[in-house]
Structure 1
Amino acid sequence: MTAAEIGLGLQSDKRAGDYARLARRAEVHGFDVVSVFGDLMYQPPVFPLLEMAAATRRVRLGAACLNPYSLAPYEIAGQVAALDLASDGRAYLGLARGTWLGAVGIPQPRPLTALAEAAEVVYRLLGGDDGGFEGEMFRLEPGTRLRYPVRRPRPPLLLGAWGPKGAALAGRIADEIKVGGSANPAMVPVIRERVRAGAVPAGRDPGDVGIVLGAVTVVDRDGAAARARARTEVAMYLAVVADLDPTADVPADLLARVKALVASGEDRAAGALIPDDVLDLFAFSGTPGQVAAQARALLDAGVRRVEFGTPHGLTDDEGVDLLGTAVLPMLRE
């Protein structure tokens, strides 16, 4: 059985040089994976990932996640190939349907087909298969192949998904499934059964698909300040993720009030409405001991990787250092 990992997830909103510094710190502290989010209107993840590849030697790297609507599969193949070359074989391929693409006029029809075919195209290109592919949404003309060196034909595939159909697809084709925006141990058995529904008919062992849970993280010696910051961060996505979690009983009137305040730009007021029990379902926050206890509950529930997401602390550097020096040692005991 694969040993559990601890990862760090970064938003791509920083200056050149910041990514290398944070990735070096993460590697020195002993983190296993560093991911970069592919969120709408932030920097393309390939820029920070290539910078981090040059600054590290051990940690796995990848985008969590790219989508096949705003980025064609052949471009995804190129970015993953570049990262794998730059990191000497430490890249993973992260795919998800994407969120909020309607804001830039991009429709998202048939997401399961799009994800499955995108993965097929990417791996055919990376593997040097020039026999062509005729899918329902994507195609490759026979003879089409990459015209540059490839480090590995099949970097591991992570699919970002919450729902039964997306998790079943992960069970059929993926190495990992990431449930983004969740710190809820009760989601782990739910996802495991959803993965099983796809893995077993495909002749795969469901246990071969690692479950990754990650969410906003704010750690500080001042636990109250950390949780206040986390509330503000969670308010911005609570209305989306609460509806995706069948184990969470978040009152509809609370979601409506939070959503209305966020829509009017009052994020801090929205966060102030979030009670402790709800906050702990969708974020890691508080003192190092509190954050470690949340992560330990996920590891005990059977996740393969816990991913501590942006902003990490009251500042980036303080958060990464505190996670590395205080939280990580508690999880390695």
Structure 2
Amino acid sequence: MTVAEIGLGLQSDKRAGDYARLARRAEEHGFDVLSVFGDLMYQPPIFPLLEMAAATRRVRLGPACLNPYSAAPYEIAGQVAALDLASHGRAYLGLARGTWLGAVGIAQPRPLTALAEAVKVIHLLLAGDRDGFEGEMFRLAPGTALRYAVHRPRPPLLLGAWGPKGAALAGRIADELKVGGSANPAMVPVIRERVARGAAEVGRDPGEVGLVFGAVTVVDRDGAAARARARTEVAMYLAVVADLDPTAHVPADLLAGVKELVDAGRHEEAGRLIPGDLLDLFAFSGDPEHVAAQAQALIDAGVRRVEFGTPHGLTDDGGVELLGTAVLPLLDRSPGAAADGA
């Protein structure tokens, strides 16, 4: 029987030492996976991930996600190899096309080709294959190889995507697909069908691809305060992700109003425009019972991993502690087994 995993997603904006402390507490509470976001202008994920690897013994760790435009595939291969060595085989590799890279002058042409070829190059390097690769966007000259030992030739691959083409690519080549910014169980069958299309192209069982849903999380005994904070956090990206969810039916005037206030730096005001039912589609927020119910709905829908994202609570430590002691014990992790193909 497939048992759903529970993950914790961290923003890379903390001080040295904070990551190790939070990682130890998360592992003690029973979290299965620790992810570090690769968002533009934050610390590179490899720094917190290596710190957390040294502080833990069991949890899986990985970036969610790196992209092949701001980091070359050979560099990504080196980072995942380093993390896998440091964690003794607990690393996963997260890749996505990346967002907002235009702000630093980086174009993102042909994202599906870039992702597929980057994966090919990374896997060849980690496997020690010296035959070379001549792709449309990336290449390896024959004889090119890493000059150090790796722990595993193929750590698990996670792709981050919402759309039909990205999900189909995951169906062909990935171990997991992450839908970032969603807490909506109605999206699970939509994404599963998109993955299945890609899996069918290569004769693969779509159940081999685990679905990961993750979003902003704010939990507190004061549920109203938690939801107010979550509204502010969600406002910043609602205009991006709402259009990606065909089941959400977000009014255009609401989105326009939120975006206008966010662009003006008035995030709290923008958040107050978001009604509670819409908030629940794009964030886990409220008291522990409400957050647990949201996560359980995703597990029941067949999600393989639920990832609670930053900021977790009204404080970092308080949120992690409450998720571990008051949310995780309420979850039945087995209902999604049939949907995962077990």
Map of 1:306 onto structure 2: 306
Q: Distance in 1 between matches of 2:3 and 2:225?
A: 33
* 1:10 paired to 2:22: no
* 1:62 paired to 2:62: yes
Q: Distance in 2 between matches of 1:2 and 1:200?
A: 22
User: SS where residue 257 of structure 2 aligns?
Assistant: helix
Q: How many residues align?
A: 333
Q: Which runs of 5+ in 1 are unaligned?
A: none
Aligned residue identity for 1:182: S
Map of 2:261 onto structure 1: 261
Q: Distance in 1 between matches of 2:316 and 2:283?
A: 16
Normalising by structure 1, report the TM-score.
0.99
Aligned residue identity for 1:190: V
Q: Distance in 1 between matches of 2:2 and 2:46?
A: 27
* 1:184 paired to 2:184: yes
Aligned residue identity for 1:265: G
Q: Distance in 2 between matches of 1:21 and 1:202?
A: 43
Map of 2:331 onto structure 1: 331
Any residues of structure 2 matched to 1:176-255 within 5 Å, and which?
176-255=176-255
Map of 2:25 onto structure 1: 25
**C-alpha displacement at 1:2, in angstroms?**
3.3
Any residues of structure 2 matched to 1:33-52 within 5 Å, and which?
33-52=33-52
Aligned residue identity for 1:33: V
Provide runs of 4+ in structure 1 moved above 6 Å: none
**C-alpha displacement at 1:241, in angstroms?**
0.3
**C-alpha displacement at 1:255, in angstroms?**
0.3
User: SS where residue 48 of structure 1 aligns?
Assistant: helix
Aligned residue identity for 2:201: P
Any residues of structure 2 matched to 1:108-147 within 5 Å, and which?
108-147=108-147
Aligned residue identity for 2:304: R
Aligned residue identity for 1:88: H
Aligned residue identity for 2:247: T
**C-alpha displacement at 1:149, in angstroms?**
1.2
User: SS where residue 237 of structure 1 aligns?
Assistant: helix
Summarize deviations over 1:288-314 as a string: whole Å, max 9, x none: 000000000000000000000000000
**C-alpha displacement at 1:203, in angstroms?**
1.0
Normalising by structure 2, report the TM-score.
0.97
Q: Which runs of 5+ in 2 are unaligned?
A: 334-342
User: SS where residue 91 of structure 1 aligns?
Assistant: coil
**C-alpha displacement at 1:332, in angstroms?**
4.2
Summarize deviations over 1:148-194 as a string: whole Å, max 9, x none: 11000000000000000000000000000000000000000000000
| Conservation of the 8 A alpha-carbon contact between 2:69 and 2:108 | yes
Q: Distance in 1 between matches of 2:275 and 2:103?
A: 30
Any residues of structure 2 matched to 1:64-83 within 5 Å, and which?
64-83=64-83
Aligned residue identity for 1:64: A
User: SS where residue 177 of structure 1 aligns?
Assistant: strand
Q: Distance in 1 between matches of 2:20 and 2:109?
A: 37
> Identity of counterpart residues, as a percentage?
85
User: SS where residue 200 of structure 1 aligns?
Assistant: helix
